[in-house]
Amino acid sequence: MTEFQRFAIYHAPREPGLAKAGAQWLGWDAMTGSACTHPALDALPRPLAELTETPRKYGFHATIKAPFALATGVTRDDLTAVLMDLAQALPPVDLAGLEVAALGDFLALRPTGDVTALQAMAGRVVEALEPFRTPLTPEQIAKRNPDKLNTRQRDFLARFGYPYVFEHYQMHMTLSGALSEPDLTALLPIAQTYFMPHLTRPYPIGDICLFGEARSCRFHLIHRYALSG
């Protein structure tokens, strides 16, 4: 069994076309645990390997419960048991669709339409798994730049190890690192054209995924848990 230093709960596309497109875009396939060849794309402002270096290690995903180390006395079996029970209690979510858009200074696939049900599902996951998480150290909290967060987000960071939860949760599948304005402007239409054939409407979220961070610091898909509530 692979040893993992941290775990995370993500959404990872089940549809093969989108999953493969995302893995190749980033250069890392978390499902197979292997590197991918980037697609050959015209008019890139810089090599895609450079543009996607920051998100590559996480794989193609949307965060639900941010990466965390297991609390003292908690085992991986404990975590998988609660995920099985949780998935059986949570209903699937249908989003209106996904679109490639800017989120601050990076690109991401983001949901369109009403996200109320999505936020509710993600919030239940965050709360249910909180007892299994080792709290962040002051140094780890400082890396999140709490001075740039509002009061509510700083509270979430302290309580849940991640500032963007509940009403502040913004689902996104990261497609780049931080970009300059010229690079962002140049890459946006390229990413939109590349992903468009794989974006279904509606877009279903039928499971939650357990990911693990290996000693290599790359994340791997461990298991999917079907939402059946």
Domain-embedded: residue 46? yes
Domain-embedded: residue 67? yes
Under 8 Å between Cβ of 162 and 37: no
| pTM recorded for the entire structure | 0.96
Domain-embedded: residue 202? yes
Q: For the chain, how many structural domains are there in total? A: 1
Domain-embedded: residue 229? no
Segment 19-52, tens digit of pLDDT: 999 999 999 999 999 999 999 999 999 999 999 9
Domain-embedded: residue 227? no
Quote the domain boundaries for residue 53.
4-222
Domain-embedded: residue 90? yes
Segment 161-219, tens digit of pLDDT: 999 999 999 999 999 999 999 999 999 999 999 999 999 999 999 999 999 999 999 99
Sequence-distant (6+) residues with CB within 8 A of 190 are 41, 42, 43, 44
Neighbours of 42 (CB within 10 A): 6
Residue 208 confidence (pLDDT)? 98
Percent of the chain with pLDDT over 90: 97
CATH number for position 149: 3.90.1140.10
Indicate if the alpha-carbon torsion angle 49, 25, 190, 116 is positive or negative.
negative
- Residue 1's pLDDT band (cuts 50, 70, 90): low
Domain-embedded: residue 228? no
Report whether pLDDT(2) > 80: no
